[in-house]
Amino acid sequence: MLCLTLTGSDVQESLNQYRDHADAVQMVEVRADLLSCVDEQKIVQLVQTIDVPKILTCRRVRDGGRYKGSERSRLQILERLIPLGFSYVDLEDDVKRPELDALAHEHGLKIIRSFHDMEGVPGDLYTRIVKLHKRGDIPKAAVMVRSINDAIMLFKIEKELRDIPEKVIIGMGDYGIPVRILYKRTGSLFTFCSPTGTSAASGHLSPEIMHDLYHSDRVTPETRIYGIIGNPVMHTSSPKIHNPAFERIGLDAIYVPFLVNDVRNFFQLADLLSIQGFSVTVPHKQHVLPYLGKISREVKLIGSCNTVLRYNTLWKGVNTDFYGFLKPIQEELDGQRIRKAVVIGAGGAARAVVWALRNYYCKVVILNRTEATAQKLAQETGSSWGGLQEIDKITGADLIVQTTSAGMPPQEEINPIETYCFDGHEIVYDLVYKPKRTRFLQKAEAAGCKLVYGMDMLVAQGILQFESFTGSTFPDDLR
């Protein structure tokens, strides 16, 4: 089930939030700590109007809530609200009030016994969940996930604690996003989401994203898992390419973003979840290479991988950036409109760009902040090289390609070649796709240059990835 946490400051706003998202959720959580005034009569109206199971919660500040009053007053609020028709009440693990438990049972409420760790994942996580279960309650663990290793610990709960049929496992923070989306793979009874434009907790996604984009509530043990790894990665638009296409061809599959700090640990998670394939973005396009048992000709040539597939008992690396980059400028290359190119950056994406251009016999100049990195790539590809400051000396460039993360959140204001004066005849290509018009592209546009957007490449290489993942043709109407 997907549970919508109502974040309204009053009952009417909360009702409006439920009505807006009713088609996507199967439960709601009423957060008394978020209400400006706890009015029993109005809450009765709320409870009676909403026809799905309802959780009553009044969360303290130290547990991620907003209730700042005394503990005595908080528990009195819960005592007043328990009889009003809720299905569950969420009580923290340190609340020891037998009379409150008895009141909940008297009115037919199940108790969710929760603990929150806003700092990390405790080493005794499994033991704490077992202890809560032994109290006869539904145990709930909400913990801050700070690494892929932490995520592994949460996903192992399904197997390690399978004897506890009803439990709720919440991974907070960006590293916890996959835990929220794939909550059923932790054995979790349900997960939480917040109304569009709000967030009741770190990592909450909207019902539209959880239900419409990821179909999280429809994930089964047979659902194939694909994804994208990077750091950062939560800005990615790739799920919007793959998930609708999976649905269109009738494939039971899901594509999930994974914030990854350690590639080796991610491969352990990939085995744990039986991930079938994944995209690779900054900064891991070269980091994945030691873990691949088979690589394509392009990966061998470029020394960079953006797509990893299960291949029998091995992982196979391919590179769709190579062809994805070429597609938006194919006509200009074929017509020899592009003969000299400048590539900004020398990372994994730049490697694919340079090799693709050299494959068309273009003269390439690689400019990078770290000159030694540019020199190394230039020597491998037969290109010229220099530091970023050399851009002002460049003349006669037909194509300028920006391959770094400059312009991507949180660097939206950065143009890596701010001092360069475009003469207007250049084709200017930025691999950053969000925002669509970076500072780099805006300056080029003002000079009259032809622009190529990062989204064009993203879609082109994403289609190739989809076809590599599935063996099926990408749906024409989604291109």
Contact 149, 156 (CB under 8 A): no
Rounded to whole angstroms, how far apart are CA atoms 356 and 325? 8
Q: What sign does the CA torsion over 289, 294, 298, 300 have? A: positive
- Which H helix or E strand runs over 229? strand 224-230
Active site residue 393: no
What's the length of the chain? 479
Q: The sheet that has 294-295: what strands, in order across it?
A: 253-259, 224-230, 275-280, 307-311, 314-318, 294-295
Q: Annotate 75-109 with b (16+ C-beta within 10 A) or e (fewer).
A: bebbeebbebbbebbbbbbebeeeebbebbeeeeb
Catalytic residue selected from 140, 167, 184, 285: 285
Relative to beta strand 2-6, strand 450-452 is: unpaired
* SS3 assignment for 74-103: HHHHHHHHHHHCCCEEEEECCCCCHHHHHH
Q: What are phi and psi of 46, to 5 degrees?
A: -60, -50
**Identity of residue 326:** L
Q: Active-site residues: which are they?
A: 285
